[in-house]
Amino acid sequence: MTDKQRHSWVSIRDSIREMILNSTYGPGDKLPRDEEFAASFGCARSTVHRAMRDLAQSGLVERRRKGGTMVRRDPVTRATLNIPITRLEVEQKGSTYGYQLIRQSVQPSSPAIMANFDLPEARPMLRVEALHLADSRPYIFEDRWICLETVPEITSVDLTRESANEWLVRNRPYSRCDLRLYARPGTPIDSEVLQSTPGDALFVMERTTWIGEAPITSLCAVAHPGYQLFTQG
């Protein structure tokens, strides 16, 4: 360690977090300017900035140019959810992956999909219903709508051979993602598609993604009974 002790952005982040957690700064409070923190920690403004960016990303504070930094009023537990490509998930379980395109058609977005995307008017979309299988048994059924204005090239993809899920993860990055997760009893249609019993507890994941302001896809994925979504981070 040199005479000039160099500050760690990590230790500065942790010090600021500690001041928030011990209520030196409470919810809604303005924090000192980066410059002021730099002076009091004896480091560079960019080091404070690096620490603050991390705190903002983890949901503890919010930042605004000129407006300054504020402790968030609504602290949350933030976790990163990694949603795997279904084929890789199945293969990682040691099972054999199968895929069936049930039907696809171009149609205007339904009211539910318009609501998910917050669209004032219907847009032309490709609706894809497909079944993912593990060892020839139904694994996940997905009902997906893809916006043709944002992803016109999806019409050239052979979705009998490759799932839209996989194509989109590989080809269409998103910048925003809404998630709705819940349990519901299986309907007769669910039971037919998933070969389960009506009334079974089914895990449902609805996901809507955008790139910038442009809607990409909105899907409802219904998993077979017993499915668990597991993520580490």
Question: What is the contact surface with its own copies in residues (CB under 8 A)?
Answer: 17, 21, 59, 74-85, 88, 169-174, 176-185, 199-204, 207, 209, 223, 225-233
Nearest to 224 by CA among 127, 113, 104, 142: 142
Q: Which residues contact 8 (CB under 8 A, 6 or more apart)?
A: none
List the single partner that 72 binds among DNA, its own copies, none, CB under 5 to 8 Å by kind.
none
Count interface residues toward DNA (CB under 7 A): 27
User: Which residue reads 């705190």 in tokens?
Assistant: 55
Q: How far apart are the first and last CA of the chain?
A: 32
Q: Which of 17, 63, 72, 172 binds DNA (CB under 7 A)?
A: 63
Site string for DNA, 33-52 (x = CB under 7 A): xxx-------xxxxx-xx-x
56 binds DNA (CB under 7 A): yes
Shortest CB 174 distance to DNA, Å: 19
Q: Rounded to whole angstroms, how far apart are CA atoms 99 and 159?
A: 10
CA gyration radius for the chain? 23
2 binds DNA (CB under 7 A): yes
Q: Rounded to whole angstroms, how far apart are CA atoms 205 and 196?
A: 18
Shortest CB 56 distance to DNA, Å: 6
The region of 17-25, 65-73, 159-167, 195-203 touching DNA under the rule CB under 7 A is 65-73
Question: Cα angle vertex 51, ends 48, 55, to 5°?
Answer: 130
53 binds DNA (CB under 7 A): yes
Q: Rounded to whole angstroms, how far apart are CA atoms 74 and 61?
A: 10
List the single partner that 52 binds among DNA, its own copies, none, CB under 5 to 8 Å by kind.
DNA
Q: Which residues bind DNA (CB under 7 A)?
A: 2, 6-10, 31, 33-35, 43-47, 49-50, 52-53, 56, 63-69
